[in-house]
Structure 1
């Protein structure tokens, strides 16, 4: 007979505490990513409601407006996808982020649009990195390798570049890692429940549609590319997987079409949609020089800081840096490591990089005329409006995947000194992607008049502001922030939006009115070329009831006040820190 187990009596006066449980590894990864994100964005932490993340203010103010508009519209029974502006805005043709508008609404409603935007910018890379670590599960066993991949993906050159430009919709790069996991479920492992899996994918695509349509289009394109690459590599499995994929695809399309029927109608036939090409197809492309030349947002640089200014687009779109060390490491791994997933990821990454170059190769902002595969898509409806430069997110994902698979294998290298050399070489390559402490933070205060708008304006007022809303990247959208800060109490006659009107097939901002033309002229001390009657008529045509002049440095405010008084017939009055004129 076995002896009964000994029972250890508790020490008198003490209570035995249960052993502490270690948090799940994915939680620790998330906390690490959050700490990195907060560290990189430390400049806003002391002024969270009066400064915005990024080196410019245009897009941060735009996103703050949309984060306010979505919950406001829902709570007031308005259509969140078509704005209440006098001219109207088709939200599905703009960077609306309604999904984030709902998720961040507690912050927006309690702390305001600036705080909500900053929270979104800090959490976007964190959630994206966590998704990356989780998606690597089928291929990578060690959490150390998955953590490195998560950090590389969340804070690599692509994410750093778009964070500097305030692109809230892009730093939430969650879809690519989720699709990486779905590649395993649908193409590699196969699924016993294709209809349910396809329906879930349809819901996932619907969520991305309400985050950023361009990412959805580009990721679906790369999902097709990945399927082709796998079919070429494993032709014998195509017949086995095809029936399940067809069923899953049908369920995906069906669920997506039902859930997104109205937003799809807005995109294809809705009001105020652009009636012509929005942008030059050669602008939003990867400059080939950027593949090996970093911007000042990367810590390790062997080129002069100003060299980035010679590359195509702005620094916010110059996230295609791979660098000689990463390129060499990936090539060596593809040749020497016997890993089919690693090689397939490298192949998909190469395709995404080539497609991101756009319709022709551009080097240091010079078009070479050398045609590239993306030229095929420039004539495809809707997809031709996408900026191929943003396929860099897939390239970054593939680099992170390759690194994770390799780091997971390093401890198994049989030659001990080889383990050390491999670790050092890999660490050096990864550190070449280390971001510099260069994230900007811009002042984003609001005149007191708008903070207390309910005291001075009536519900339903249409307010023309001086300065006007423009698409100028730095400062142009400030009046939109002021309106958001005023909790959408009033309307504005224009904005920094993509749309159209009967006279303009494409608009990025409202056309300059006769009144605003006069403001520009008198504010700069130039002769007037606009009659006051025409300026007054332009205000009435937009339904303006109040003009608010915000004094600015470098503008003759007295002249602008005199002009506004003449146009409105109201001498105006100083209200807190602005001048108000009621028509």
Structure 2
């Protein structure tokens, strides 16, 4: 049997009566929903951060503040030793979102970095939804159907999960809809000016490289999958279009190399980058149970949220539900190529998101899965596969838009039920982003206790004090992805003997009496070897600060200077008062 041939290239769906007015209405609607979801921060927009956990929000806030600081001071915004001194950190391996840092710099410089973070978290879903509406312009005729589909994408379980985890980089999910629009133009519609289309694609990919490289890798992977699905379905069209596709690809790569070449250098060969696998490849696997079981972030839960699923709370956004699965089945059987292609690509993304082995209820089953194939591919191997769920979400949005636009009324009703089943709960949280008044430490290298850690709840608090100082001093600690001479991969600065002694002093003040004391002279040598000039101790609520203060006096040889809510212990006569 001969392969089916594709009909003649099709024009875009007819524009809605009234032009593009529905885009403005959609923007207002999505912004209103986003603000409603985040109502808990509206009365303290500069002092509370969106998200249930503080450390990731603090990490993003630090980088937004650092980008604005670099723009106004001439410092390097992409490689800095303000954290993890003297090794430093590489922005492209971290939550730097440099593109958003530049766009939000006016907010950062006027209202503060926490306000800028909150603005980004509110706008991210709205802008992503608008991108979906625009991308569906050539696929779904009805403006109302496109707006509903865009809302599904903007406020999906995937986005809700990353909102409450404070993942600014992932709630800006603009690239997948952009690549959908590009693929529709490249493979379905009449392909004119391929050089220009390729250049615009390169621009979109370059912008994403300066936003978050994991989403870039996911987008490129799924664009290849989509191209393969269409080529398998319509091989003759693929052959006919090959010369134009090559021209588009050439201009895409040229523009990308110019605009994002340095970003790729920082990722692949830049300083302070990780030199090994970041984590177990199974860490970021989706849980099969999450496909049918929603978390507490979804309003309608037929069964209680499971006690445990694979991944952390920010990665449990893979809920589809029975209504969505019924919609997929009806779409595949009741409509044309667009729905079938969306369903196939969504199914591939769903399968890949499950990672290298199947997990059910957080339990590994030993069943191998296709993600194993990419574990040796540079960049892709570092992607947390669960984040391919953003493509699954987009596929669902496309199917819902087509159902509301073209399908018989019963199928459209299923699409409405699917949308209702994803209704967000009023469950988004905020966390305090306050910081003590910064001490005058201009030009100093500071060791802090408590140390900066990757603990999601308060681990990065010392970074907020550094932000409040206007980056007047450097920290030996940090929360980051990087390395040093002794550790190929780090997510926080390694322990030194001063920190071990501080932890010891807190233990022996409690139930661990009798432990041998650490060597204060060795701890002092560690600090001086890292260039430390000042130790900053911030007493913690509910803990007696005396043991840590006594230990710090022994190490530094200083009686310390009491400040409001903190103690300073200079190691040298360089402390500026």
Name the SS for the 2:138 alignment partner.
coil
Show CA shifts across 1:12-54 (max 9, x none).
xxxxxxxxx9982111100000000000000111111111111
In the alignment, structure 1 residue 494 sits paired with structure 2 residue 491:
no
Counterparts of residues 27-176 of structure 1 (less than 5 Å): 27-85=24-82, 86-176=86-176
Counterparts of residues 1-400 of structure 1 (less than 5 Å): 24-85=21-82, 86-305=86-305, 307=306, 309-337=307-335, 339-400=336-397
Contact 2:327–2:411 (Cα < 8 Å) also in 1 = no
Q: What is the aligned counterpart of 2:462 among 479, 486, 490?
A: 479
Cα distance in 2 for residues equivalent to 1:437 and 1:556: 38
Match of 2:561 in 1: 573
Cα distance in 2 for residues equivalent to 1:370 and 1:343: 27
Contact 1:355–1:391 (Cα < 8 Å) also in 2 = yes
How many residues end up aligned between the 2 structures?
546
Show CA shifts across 1:178-213 (max 9, x none).
111111121112432222221221121111001000
Name the SS for the 2:119 alignment partner.
helix
Cα distance in 1 for residues equivalent to 2:414 and 2:278: 44
Q: How far does residue 518 in structure 1 lie from its aligned partner after superposition?
A: 1.1
Name the SS for the 2:60 alignment partner.
helix
Cα distance in 1 for residues equivalent to 2:20 and 2:568: 57
Cα distance in 2 for residues equivalent to 1:557 and 1:27: 56
Q: How far does residue 303 in structure 1 lie from its aligned partner after superposition?
A: 2.3
Name the SS for the 1:438 alignment partner.
coil
Q: What is the aligned counterpart of 2:432 among 432, 435, 443?
A: 443
Q: How far does residue 560 in structure 1 lie from its aligned partner after superposition?
A: 1.3
Contact 1:295–1:315 (Cα < 8 Å) also in 2 = no
Where structure 2 has 5 or more consecutive residues not aligned to the other structure, the ranges are 1-17, 572-577
Match of 2:486 in 1: 503
Q: How far does residue 250 in structure 1 lie from its aligned partner after superposition?
A: 1.1
Show CA shifts across 1:339-372 (max 9, x none).
2111111111011111111112111112222221
Show CA shifts across 1:358-413 (max 9, x none).
11211111222222111100111221111111000000000000100110125xx4
Show CA shifts across 1:291-323 (max 9, x none).
111111111112223x1x321011210111101
Contact 1:62–1:481 (Cα < 8 Å) also in 2 = no
In the alignment, structure 1 residue 461 sits paired with structure 2 residue 444:
yes
Pick the structure with greater CA Rg.
1
Match of 2:527 in 1: 539
Where structure 1 has 5 or more consecutive residues not aligned to the other structure, the ranges are 1-20, 414-418
Match of 1:549 in 2: 537
Contact 2:53–2:431 (Cα < 8 Å) also in 1 = yes
Contact 2:403–2:412 (Cα < 8 Å) also in 1 = no
Cα distance in 2 for residues equivalent to 1:576 and 1:22: 60
In the alignment, structure 1 residue 523 sits paired with structure 2 residue 499:
no
Contact 1:112–1:485 (Cα < 8 Å) also in 2 = no
Cα distance in 2 for residues equivalent to 1:142 and 1:255: 34
Show CA shifts across 1:507-559 (max 9, x none).
11000111111111112325454211111112112212222211212332112
Match of 2:419 in 1: 430
Q: How far does residue 269 in structure 1 lie from its aligned partner after superposition?
A: 1.6
Contact 2:133–2:147 (Cα < 8 Å) also in 1 = yes
Name the SS for the 1:498 alignment partner.
strand
Contact 2:156–2:393 (Cα < 8 Å) also in 1 = yes
Contact 1:58–1:477 (Cα < 8 Å) also in 2 = yes
Cα distance in 2 for residues equivalent to 1:145 and 1:24: 14
Q: How far does residue 87 in structure 1 lie from its aligned partner after superposition?
A: 1.9
CA RMSD of aligned residues (A): 1.5
Q: How far does residue 495 in structure 1 lie from its aligned partner after superposition?
A: 0.5
The TM-score normalised by the length of structure 1 is: 0.91
Contact 1:113–1:485 (Cα < 8 Å) also in 2 = no
Match of 1:8 in 2: none
Cα distance in 2 for residues equivalent to 1:423 and 1:189: 26
Cα distance in 1 for residues equivalent to 2:143 and 2:19: 14
Name the SS for the 1:211 alignment partner.
coil
